[in-house]
Structures are given as structure tokens and as C-alpha cells.
Structure 1
Amino acid sequence: MAKNDELLHQEARSLASPSRIKYFDLVIAQGNGALLTDADGKEYIDLLASASSTNTGHCHPTVVQAITQQAQKLIQYTPAYFANPIAAKLSTRLTKLAPITRPVKLAWGNSGSDANDAIIKFARAYTGRQYIVTFTGAYHGSTYGSLTASGVSLNMTRKLGPLLPGIIKVPYPDPWQKAPHETTEQFVNRMFEAFKLPFETYLPPDEVACILIEPIQGDGGIIKAPTKYLQKVYEFAHEHKILFAVDEVNQGMGRTGKWWSIQQFGLEPDLMSVGKSLASGLPLSAVIGRAEIMEALKAPAHVFTTAGNPLTAAAALATIEVIEKEDLLHRSRKLGRSALTFFQQAQAKYDFIGDVRMYGLNGGIDIVDPKTKKPSTEIATKIIHRTFELGVIMISLRGNILRFQPPLVITTAQLDRAFTILDQVFSEEAAQKLRLPKNASELGW
């Protein structure tokens, strides 16, 4: 038995199935930059970046050195009671990076999930209001508050009710759902009318604490809201003294070619959540916001034993250093343009490739039935499975959307190699040579 299979068989005896979304029988043993090696020694090009949590790549030397040096000094003493030098330095660095001009403060967490829970906490405390408005297609996390705020998978709510009260969902303005006859302006107006409907019928605006949105949805399909729409929502929020909060867990830390995805819109949030690549994948998150909002609670309303510990803070400082010194924001934009060109050329060649979205090195590629142009989970599953066989890691979102989020440090040679493999797979699908894996019904979201 191969070592991958042996380890997976061993793990299956103790790991609960809800804790992993199944894709491939893969045990990742090591990583370097944009390359991964499995337990059997096979190498893969990573187009997932650990769900956009390793934007600086795997085991970046600067990050590894920072972790190693800090581990020799102090690994953990709870920041819930005492400060540590490295987290103090990081808090100053990160608040300066925040796209908020007024005085800014933050609170640490362990994951993007609890950072989004924190948005709910601080927004309710500051405004004295109960309701939180979120969007369909959102993925905010798996803790009860963030899970309730999400709207991307039925398995995130099935058997779990009652969920957190006071969370209201409105339709996300997915531009690719625009009707054939609609102009962009008409679509924006229609979606904004749908956004306002709850406020006009059953949801008093003066009882709403916060509107929480992913400006570019991640697990919802890498979908960017129209700028005019987000401006309308932003103006509505401020008109009614509702806080405007953004989830930057997936799309922050340089993923879109800017530090934060909200900077693509020229808007300034009141609150924001950060996680994933903040510490190059180590468990660290933060909720960042206007200082007066962040002082609306008193300890221990948002305290965690390990949040902001020295090791993860050292990794985060090193991550910021890498992004700046290697100019990964520019690199994301530059390589993103190359990726867009490749997928648009493929779109012109293959009738099962629908919409192509790319924001920096960060894209969603819709796979559709060539005849009906409806989403095709079957074709997408065949593509990602064959791609995996050929040594490239890419997964699907919402069944039919290819998720393209490589580490920002991927080399042009590695990217070109991945494109060559993808084109081969697309060609094989066009020739009807691809077959579904036997467990296809179990795979993906």
C-alpha cells in the first residue's frame, strides 16, 4: 500500500468526516514556495495556496527563520493576561496597514471564523442594535456566529439549528447572474432594490448594527460585487448609522493585488476581519476597526488563550516583510494578467468554459454544460481530478467553479507548466477522454 493510502486509512479511524471537504486522496508531507510533495514523494504545483492562507508560499525562508528564532525565546504565554514584544510590534504594524483613516485598534483571534464573530460582537456592543445583514454565497467561517452569517452550503446549517438570532441575508450581486437584456446599471439597481426590500418591509434600519460583506466573495466563487452597488450599500449604511464591515480573510494580504480587497472599491470600512495568510497559515486572526468601536466591549468579552501568541505574531511580521520586500502586490497583479489571458484564450477554444473572473492572482472559472450553458459539476470534477493526476492541485467551488489561487511567489516557469497541464486537460475533456472518479458524488462542496 502506498504511504498516502496507508496514512489516510490510519487517519480515517479517528478523524470525523465533517472536518474535511473531500477532494483527492492526498497526504501533503512538505512544501516549498508553490510546490508540494506528498507522502509518496510525488510533486505538485499548488494552485490553491492552502485556501489562500499561504500567499507567501510554503516555508518561505524569512517566515521560517522568524518562527525558529521566536520559538527559541518564547513559544506561548497567554496574551489574555500579559503582553509580549512581538505581538505589540505587530499590532502597531497591522493597524497602520488597515484601510481606515481614523484611529484604529484591533483584537486578536485564532481564525477568520472568530474574527467574523468579533465583528458581530463589537458591532452590537457599539451600536446597541441587534441585527446583522449578510449576503447569500458568503463564507465567513465555522463558529456559530460566522456560520450563521454564511450562505454558501446547506451542510453549514443542516442539523445545527437554532442558529444565532438576528442574522438577515440578502442576495449577493453576482454580476454573472445579470439578465441578458440588462445593462450593468439596471442590474445594480435591481440588486440594490432587493437589498432594500427587508429594510422596507420587516427590518427597521435603526435596529441594524452592521452590514457584513466580502467585497470579493472567496468560497462563493471568486466573485466581485459591482463597485456602484457596493457604493450604494455603503451610503445606505452610513445614512442609517449602520456599521459597514468587510471580510478580508480570503481576499486580503495581497491576494487581489492590493493589501485589502476593499481598496479595489475606494471605500473605507468601519470594521474588518483578517486571517488565513496573516501569519502565512499559522493560526492567527484579527478584527480591526475604528478605535471607538473596538472599545465598546470590556474584557473578557473577546479573549482567547492563544490568540496573538509570540510565535504566530512573529510569523505575521515576517509575512508582512515578505509581501513588501518582494513586492507581491505588484506580482499578484502582473501574474494575474497572465492568468487572465490564459483562461480567456481557453474560454475561446473550449465551449465548457463559461465566465472567467480574475482579480490579481485570484480567479474563478465557471465550467458549464456546452449545450445548456448551465453549471456542470460533472465536467469540473473530471477536470480537477485529471489535473491532480498530472501534478497540479486545483479544486472546485460550488461544484462547477475552478478555484485559482496560487501562492503569490509562484514562479513564471511553474505557472506556465500549470497552464500547459490545464490546457492538456481541457483538450482531453473536449475530446471526451476524461472520466469521473468512482467517488465523484462525494467530492467537493
Structure 2
Amino acid sequence: MVKNKELLQMEDASLSKTSRIKYFNIVIDSGQGAVIKDVEGHEYLDLLASASSTNTGHCHPRIVKAIQDQAAKIIQYTPAYFANTPAALLAQKLGEVAPISGPVKVAWGNSGSDANDGIIKFARAYTGRQNIVSFMGAYHGSTYGSMSASAVSLNMSRKIGPFLPGIVKVPYPDPWHRLPNESETDFVDRMFAAFLEPFQTYLPAEETAVIMMEAIQGDGGIVKAPTAFVKKVVNFAHQHGILFAVDEVNQGLGRSGKMWAIQHFAVEPDLMSVGKSLASGLPLSAVVGRQKIMDSLAAPGHLFTTSGNPITTAAALATLAVIKDEKLVERSAKLGQVAAEFFEEQAKKHDFIGSWRMYGLDGGIDIVDPKSKKPDVVATNKLIYRIFELGAIIISLRGNILRFQPPLVITKEQLHQAFAILAQAFDELAAGELELPPAATKMGWQK
């Protein structure tokens, strides 16, 4: 039997340090639904869904068949020069399900990162303006443009600059950081005033192309902005001829209990980035936007040799069909409520759960020091390592936030099995029974 340790040691000699955020010393070998298996045969409940890129679960038979059938016909011929049937059908289908009224067009990419680069390109081309506004805590990707718009980890800035010019970052309205006794209205007013400050001091609105936003931040901690704040931002943008773009890479395709996260806010974006689960984890992304904006760039302003590839677009067509036919959006909302009840119960029981939020099967659980209420990274690492030992995969965000994003196909029985594992780990932490292996001291995102 091949061992996890042997393969990891072999890989370590060749793989760059930046290529992986370290958590558990396993090598993934296979998966089915909400279960993954390592090369030694150990099975784990997947509470991460491959960073929300396998919303339809692992190896869904309809998606596997679509990939196999297409692979037997043609694997690749660059869509930069010639159309292919799955991509042509998918472009129409994606336009139909986009949360944007009126004529819509798409542009293909290979990752959510380049889709967010595309938002910057299309916005600048259409408006003739340079400046881009994004939010602190955002993770838009790892290409230079998307990384320039991100603000979630110093390791996404350290040793890499200078970044793309013309990008301004404003505070994100994290409702879990409201001041004591501050009402939501007062909080929204305070955060919107902070949003406006650059425009009032050094950033001319008439020279700003787009405001990019994760309406629900993913890697920033699974945090939903107040609806009133988002509406104020959209109104401000449109009053000043600024485009509003939403990043749906992490939060789209049913993750939050809506098809698109922006549908929680009763506003429409002008541009949207999609990736991750679009092709159930295969490398496909898209910029989706209003036709007049998407026609502002000429080829080859935003095209790639393999984007819109026949295999990935065939997988995406099957993915959209599975989401619709198996009612995964509704399932996410329904099972998310079950998960919310579980975490509410656990928060009442354990004072190290500082706060929690659940939007569909999309949750963030803050682990804090019970006395100071400050983030407790060590306790978080103890928890995720113990949960791993008990047979489930969950990771942390920003050091102290448990990231709960299981595949949307997880069964009720599997979900309750996950709850039993989490509850046991919580109880053992409360009893002071958890220790952290020396190798686990640097798990997760490092500052």
C-alpha cells in the first residue's frame, strides 16, 4: 500500500512552499458524494467541498458521464479560434440563470482569479475610467489583478509588489464587529460613511470604474454584509456611473441557499465572476455581465487557450442540470437551517464559540478565548485536528474561524454524523482534553 507520508515526502522535494496551505498530512485518492478517501483507505466526511468547488459532491455520476462522453469525442480545441458545442450551449444557459436582467453575455476563463481580472478589464474598457474599489477581507484570487483587489492575508502582498495601480480598498461591513449597543442602522451608517470617505477626500467618483464586492465574503470568514449597506453601495455606484460587480466564485451556485449570493440583497450586479463549482471543480470560470459592457473589449482582450474547453463546459452543463434537477439550492437552504440549529445549540453550551453564521450550507464559526473574547488560533487548530482524527475534514479561515461548507448533496444522515463529530470535539476542547501535535502548530493561513 502506498503511504500518505511517502507520497508527501516525495512531493515535498519538488513542490514550492506557496503551492499549499498546510492542514493534514493526507493524499486524497478518491471521493463519492460527501465522502473522500486517502491513499491508505481512510474515509472522511468532507465539510469543505474542496473549497466550495464541488457543490454537487465528488464524482456525481451524471457529471462523470458528461466528462467521459465528451472526452471520447474531443478533449481540447482552443475556443479562442473555434466554437464547440458544450461551450455554445453553456453560454446561453449561464446567461439564462444569471441574476442580471436584460441581454447578458459571458467570457470564459480558467479560474475565479482570471474572472476577477476580467471584471477589472471590462469595467475599465466600458467606462473609460481607471480606479477600482474593493473591500478589506476580500479574496478575489491569486493572479496579479485579482490579488491586487484582495485584502485577506499579508502573504498575498509580501514580496510580490508593486501591485496593479488604481485599486482602493474600503472597510467591509462585518456585522459581527458592531460596537456594543450599536443598532444595525447605526452600524450601516457608520460603515457607509467609511466607504464614502475616499470619494470625499482623494478618489474622484467620476474616475472610478467599478466597485467589486463579495456580498458574502468567503475566505474573509463567511460574512454577509447588511442588505441596507449593499443597497447604499449599489445606489451610490449607479448615481455616479460606476459599475457594481459581485464575486460569486466561492458563494455562487447554491452555496448560500440561493443560486447566487447577491440574490439575498434584492439588487442586480452589472458584472459577476463565477468559478469553482461551475464545472464541479474542473478549471472553468466566467465573467457574466450586461451585453453592452461585455462587448466593450475586442479579442484577444480576455481569452485563453483552454478556457471554455469542451470537457469543462460539458461538465458545467451537467452541473447546472444536477443543481436544478436535484433542487440543490433548496436543499442547501433547508439543510442549512438544520446546521444553524446545531451551531446555535453548541454556542449556548460552549463559551469559546464567540459567534457563528449560517447562510444555507455555508457557515463560519468563530473560536475565541472565553475570557478575552479574542480570536483563539491554537484552540481552533486543536479543534480542526481533532475533527480530522474523528473522521471529518474542516479547515479554518483567518486563523480562528471554522469553515463549514459541505457538498450540497450531503445526506441528512451524514450531516448528523458530522454534528456528532463536531460536538465531541467541542466537548473535548471544553474539558481541556485536546493537545496539538508539534507538526500542527502552523496549520492554516499564516500572516
Task: Normalising by structure 2, report the TM-score.
Answer: 0.99
* 1:420 and 2:420 matched: yes
Aligned to 2:37: 37
Residue-by-residue CA offset, 1:101-149 (whole Å, 9 max, x unaligned): 1110010000000000000000000000000000000000000000010
- Give the match for residue 205 of structure 1: 205
Equivalent residue runs for 1:169-208 within 5 Å = 169-208=169-208
Give matches, 1:71-86, under 5 Å.
Answer: 71-86=71-86
* Residue 56 (structure 2) pairs with residue 56 (structure 1): yes
Q: SS at the partner of 2:441?
A: helix
Following TM superposition, by how much is the alpha carbon of 1:303 offset from its aligned partner in structure 2, in angstroms?
1.2
**Distance (Å, rounded) in 2 between the aligned partners of 1:440 and 1:5:** 15
**Deviation readout 1:247-278 (Å, 9 max, x if unpaired):** 00000011011110000101000000000000
Structure 2 residue identity aligned to 1:23: Y
**Structure 1 residue 96 displacement after superposition:** 0.6
CA shift digits 1:389-443 (9 cap, x unpaired): 1110000000000000000000111111110011000000000000122133321
Percent same amino acid among aligned pairs?
67
Q: Distance in 2 between matches of 1:44 and 1:135?
A: 35
Residues in 1 aligned to 2:284 and 2:45: alpha-carbon distance in whole angstroms:
26
Q: SS in structure 1 opposite 2:273? A: strand
CA contact (8 A) 2:254 2:329 kept: yes
Tell me the secondary structure at the aligned position of residue 190 of structure 1. Answer: helix
Q: Is the 8 A contact 2:45 2:393 kept in 1?
A: yes
Instruction: Measure the CA separation in 2 of the matches of 1:290 and 1:7.
Output: 47
- SS of the equivalent of 2:231 reads helix
**CA–CA distance in 2 between the matches of 1:129 and 1:387?**
49
1: CA distance between counterparts of 2:26 and 2:46?
13
Deviations 1:225-247 (A, max 9, x none): 00000000000000000000000
Deviation, 1:2, is 6.5
Cα distance in 2, alignment partners of residues 280 and 165 from structure 1: 34
8 A contact 2:381–2:441 mirrored in 1? no
Alignment coverage as a number of residue pairs: 445
Query: What TM-score does the superposition give when structure 1 sets the normalisation length?
Result: 0.99
How far apart, in 2, do the equivalents of 1:142 and 1:90 lie?
Answer: 26
AA in 2 matched with 1:328: L
CA deviation profile, 1:68-124 (whole Å, cap 9, x unmatched):
000000110000000001100000000111011111001000000000000000000
Q: Counterpart in 2 of 1:356?
A: 356
1:96 is matched with: 96
Local SS of the residue matching 2:133: strand
Query: Mind listing any 5+ residue stretches in structure 2 that lack a counterpart?
Result: none
3-state SS of 1:10 partner = helix
Aligned twin of 2:9: 9
**SS in structure 2 of the partner of residue 277 of structure 1:** helix
Write out aligned runs for 1:35-434 (5 A).
Answer: 35-434=35-434
Which consecutive residues of structure 1, in runs of 5 or more, have no partner in the other structure? none
After superposition, the CA RMSD in angstroms is: 0.8
SS of the aligned residue for 2:438 comes to: coil
Q: Distance in 2 between matches of 1:300 and 1:160?
A: 27
Query: How far apart are the structure 2 equivalents of 1:253 and 1:65?
Result: 21
Distance 1:303 1:64 in 2: 27
CA distance in 2, matches of 1:89, 1:106: 12
Q: Secondary structure at the match of 1:439?
A: helix
Query: Counterparts of 1:327 and 1:157 in 2: how far apart (Å)?
Result: 40
Does the Cα contact within 8 Å between 2:79 and 2:307 map onto a contact in 1? Answer: yes
